[in-house]
Amino acid sequence: MIRRARASAEVKQDAPRSEGAASVAGLNRTFHAATVKVRRELPAFVRPMRSKTIVELPAGDDWVYEVKRGGERTIAVKNGGQVKLYRENGEAFECPLIAEVVRRMPANAAVIDGEITYVIPEPGHRQLRFYAWDLLHLNGHDMTLHSLEKRKQRLCTLTLDGEVLFSPSLGCEPAQLVAEVSRLSLDGVVAKRKGSIYEPGKCTGSWLSLSLRRDV
């Protein structure tokens, strides 16, 4: 009888703790759901990362290079069947041709940093195109904290065989690249530090911009 009484008392003492554990578990589930919802929320606009102006490209294994074509820097935000385009300062603008091209990308939601510019496929003809530089958000995942290499890899896959043009990272010698970009009369070159994250609106020194534009 004494053992049964003790067992009964232990059950009664454990009951409140079980209710408390259930409450904590419920709070944890609620917090987790809220966290997932925030993580997956598509940003309306991401302020572009800025580059530091330089007069000579850095050399070495820590850097890759990307060509600037002198177009309109654009943040493209795709949300389902809707696409919005923004200038660097966050001002929305209309460009139906580019919006349609972004809309056809194989992603439900994405935020892309790039530039809109004209290309000349043959003399006397020019086409408006969107070059994709960086991938900031993809299908509910914030890509800004991933390395430059991973963002570029995902962006390359996303633009494969599509109408959005992928702007690749180049690992060539800086002097050779500068000579070629100058020969093609393009705007310049951006050096990007390998492994760097994307820091919206900041100028951290991970991106270094060399202008090769010739003043007329």
- The full set of domain ranges for the chain reads 1-40, 52-211
pLDDT of res. 126: 86
Residues 6+ apart with CB under 8 A from 196: 147, 148, 204, 206, 207
pLDDT of res. 29: 43
The tens digit of pLDDT for each residue in 2-26 reads 344 444 444 344 444 444 444 434 4
pLDDT of res. 187: 95
pLDDT of res. 214: 66
Q: What CATH superfamily classification does 52-211 receive?
A: DNA ligase/mRNA capping enzyme (3.30.470.30)
Low-confidence ranges of the chain (pLDDT < 70): 1-40, 214-216
Under 8 Å between Cβ of 195 and 168: no
Burial string for 102-133 (b: 16+ CB within 10 Å, else e) reads beebeeebbbbbbbbbeeeeeeeeeeebbbbb
Strands 165-166 and 125-138: parallel
pLDDT of res. 63: 97
pLDDT of res. 40: 53
pLDDT of res. 21: 41
Q: Which two tokens stand for residue 64?
A: 């890759």
The tens digit of pLDDT for each residue in 32-45 reads 333 333 345 888 89
Strands 52-54 and 207-211: parallel
Distances (CA, A) of 78 to 54, 143, 146: 33, 15, 20
Residue with tokens 């209309």: 94
